[in-house]
Amino acid sequence: MTRVNADVDPDDVPSNPSDNGHIRDVLSRRGLIKGGTVVAAAGFMTTGLAGAAAAAPERTKHGHHAKKLLGFKAIAPSTDDRVRVPEGYTAQVLIPWGTPISSKGPKFKKDASNTAAEQRQQIGAHHDGMHLFPLSKTSGLLAVNHEYVDTTLHYKDGDAVITKEKVDKAVAGHGVSVVKVQQGKHGKWELVDSRYNRRITADTPVTFSGPVKGSHPLLRAKNPALGTINNCSSGYTPWGTYVTCEENFNGYFGTEDTSWKPNTEEARYGVAAASGYRWHTADARWDVAKNPHEVNRFGWIVEIDPFNPKATPVKRTALGRIKHENAAVTESHGRVVLYTGDDQDGEYVYKFVGDKPWRLRKALGQSPLDHGTLYVAKFNDDGTGVWLPLKFGKGPLTKQNGWKDQADVLIRTRSAADAVGATKLDRPEWVAVNPGNKDVYLTLTNGAGNGGKANPRTPNPYGHILRWREKHGDNTALAFTWDVFVLAGDPAYDPTVKLGPDAIFGSPDGIGFDHDGRLWIQTDISNSSQTLASRGYDNIGNCAMLAADPKTKEIKRFLTVPRGAEVTGLTFSADGRSMFVNVQHPGEVSAAWGAPTPANPRVVSNWPDFDPSGRPRSATVVVTKKDGGKIGT
* Residue at 33: amino acid letter: I
Q: How far apart are CA 440 and CA 458, in angstroms?
A: 27
User: Is-contact 539 490, C-beta < 8 A?
Assistant: yes
**Binding residue (CB under 6 A) for ligand FEO from 305, 345, 370, 429:** 429
Residue with Cβ nearer ligand FEO (11 or 294):
11
Selection from 578, 610, 584, 583 nearest residue 189 by Cα: 578
Closest separation between CB of residue 132 and ligand FEO, Å? 20
Q: Is position 232 an interface residue for ligand FEO (rule: CB under 6 A)?
A: yes
301 binds, among Ca ion, ligand FEO, none (CB under 5 to 8 A by kind): none
CA 275 – CA 579 distance, rounded (Å): 36
Task: For ligand FEO, give the closer residue by CB, 3 or 563.
Answer: 3
Please tell me the distance from the alpha carbon of residue 345 to that of residue 280, in angstroms, as a whole number: 26
Q: At 312, phi and psi to the nearest 5?
A: -80, 135
Q: Which does 303 bind (CB under 5 to 8 A by kind): Ca ion, ligand FEO, none?
A: none
Give the bridge partners for 613, in sequence order.
Answer: none
Q: According to CB under 6 A, which residues from 102 to 161 bind ligand FEO?
A: 147
Of residues 12, 168, 325, 494, which one binds ligand FEO by CB under 6 A? Answer: 325
Question: What's the min distance (Å) between Cβ of 345 and ligand FEO?
Answer: 11
The minimum distance between CB 394 and Ca ion, in angstroms, equals: 32
Q: Which is nearer to ligand FEO, 159 or 325 (CB)?
A: 325
Q: Which residue, 325 or 418, has its beta carbon nearer to ligand FEO?
A: 325
Q: How far apart are CA 298 and CA 547, in angstroms?
A: 34
Nearer to ligand FEO, 291 or 542 (CB): 542
Residue 39 CB, shortest distance to ligand FEO, in Å, is: 27
C-alpha distances in Å from residue 552, one per residue of 68, 452, 548:
10, 32, 8
> By the criterion CB under 5 A, which residues form the site for Ca ion?
445, 509, 524
For ligand FEO, the closer of residues 581 and 603 by Cβ is: 581
Site membership for ligand FEO, residue 410 (CB under 6 A): no
Q: Distance between CA 10 and CA 23 in Å, rounded?
A: 20
Report the alpha-carbon distance of residue 118 to residue 106 in Å, rounded.
Answer: 6
Of the pair 439, 566, the CB lying nearest ligand FEO is at: 566
372-379 vs 384-389, strand pairing mode: antiparallel
Among 447, 448, 439, 489, CA closest to 466: 439
Q: Name which of Ca ion, ligand FEO, none residue 32 binds, using a CB cut-off of 5 to 8 Å depending on partner kind.
A: none
Q: Which of Ca ion, ligand FEO, none sits in contact with 147, Cβ below 5 to 8 A by type?
A: ligand FEO
CB of 564 or CB of 614, closer to ligand FEO: 564
Whether the Cβ atoms of residue 88 and residue 625 lie closer than 8 Å to each other = yes
CB nearer to ligand FEO: pick between 545 and 631:
545
Q: Does 343 bind ligand FEO (CB under 6 A)?
A: yes
331's contact among Ca ion, ligand FEO, none, with CB below 5 to 8 A by partner kind, is: none
CB of 429 to ligand FEO, least distance (A): 5
Is residue 483 at the binding interface for ligand FEO, with CB under 6 A as the rule?
Answer: no
CA–CA dist 548, 571 (Å, integer): 16
- Evaluate whether 569 touches 582 at the Cβ level (below 8 Å): yes
Residue 426 lies near ligand FEO (rule: CB under 6 A): no
CB of 205 within 8 A of CB of 224?
yes
Binds 419: which of Ca ion, ligand FEO, none (CB < 5-8 Å by kind): none
- Three-state SS sequence of 249-303: HHHHCECCCCCCCCCHHHHHCCCCCCCCCCHHHCCHHHECCCCCCHHHHCCCEEE
Q: Which residues of 320-349 are buried (b: 16+ CB within 10 A; e: fewer)?
A: bbbbbbbbbbbbbeebbbbbbbbbbbbbbb
SS3 (DSSP) at 373: strand
Q: Residue 373 CB, nearest distance to ligand FEO (Å)?
A: 25
* Position 461, amino acid: P
Minimal distance, residue 340 CB to Ca ion, in Å: 13
**Segment 537-596, which members bind ligand FEO (CB under 6 A)?**
none
At closest approach, how far in Å is the CB of 339 from ligand FEO? 15
Helices marked H in 85-184: 116-119, 164-173
Residue nearest to ligand FEO (CB): 232
- Smallest distance from the beta carbon of 630 to ligand FEO, in angstroms? 28
- For residue 509, the minimal CB distance to Ca ion (Å) is 4
Q: Is 342 in the site for ligand FEO (CB under 6 A)?
A: no
Residue 247 within binding range of ligand FEO, rule CB under 6 A: yes
The residue among 528 and 624 lying less far from ligand FEO, judged by its C-beta, is 528
From the list ligand FEO, Ca ion, none, pick the one residue 247 interacts with, judged by a Cβ distance below 5 to 8 Å according to partner type.
ligand FEO
Cβ(633)–Cβ(72) below 8 Å: yes
> How many residues of this chain interact with ligand FEO, rule: CB under 6 A?
7
Residues that bind ligand FEO (CB under 6 A): 1, 147, 232, 247, 325, 343, 429
